[in-house]
Amino acid sequence: MIFSTSMIVSNSDMIKNYKTCRDKAEGLGKIFILKNNQPDAVLFSISEYERVSAFMEYLEHMEEEDVAKLYGNLPDEGLRMSKTIDQLRNEL
């Protein structure tokens, strides 16, 4: 997964500046929240959540061997965001 430091906020920043963090998540798709300098949570924009949820629902209805084949068709680590669900589906 590729992410930049602009996608990381502290727990205290999240508490003090929720609207700013929410706007950042909307613009970036998601932000990672750290508590005591450790990953604690992820805040998704609604559009990113809907995209991930649709993909999860799609996976839940696939046969196990098709899921394994789909996983095998994913690009190398760091490039996974470059393929759409439709592109992966067409590779099955």
* 86 shares a domain with 51: yes
Give the structural domain span for 35.
Answer: 5-45
Mind giving me the DSSP string for 6-44? GGEEEHHHHHHTHHHHHHHHHHHSEEEEEETTEEEEEEE
Give the pLDDT confidence score for residue 89 in this predicted structure.
Answer: 62
* 54 shares a domain with 40: no
Token pair belonging to 42:
């992820």
Structure confidence by residue, pLDDT tens digits, 36-68: 989 999 999 999 999 889 888 888 888 888 878
> What's the total number of domains in the chain?
2
* 53 shares a domain with 22: no
Would the pLDDT of 79 be above 70?
no
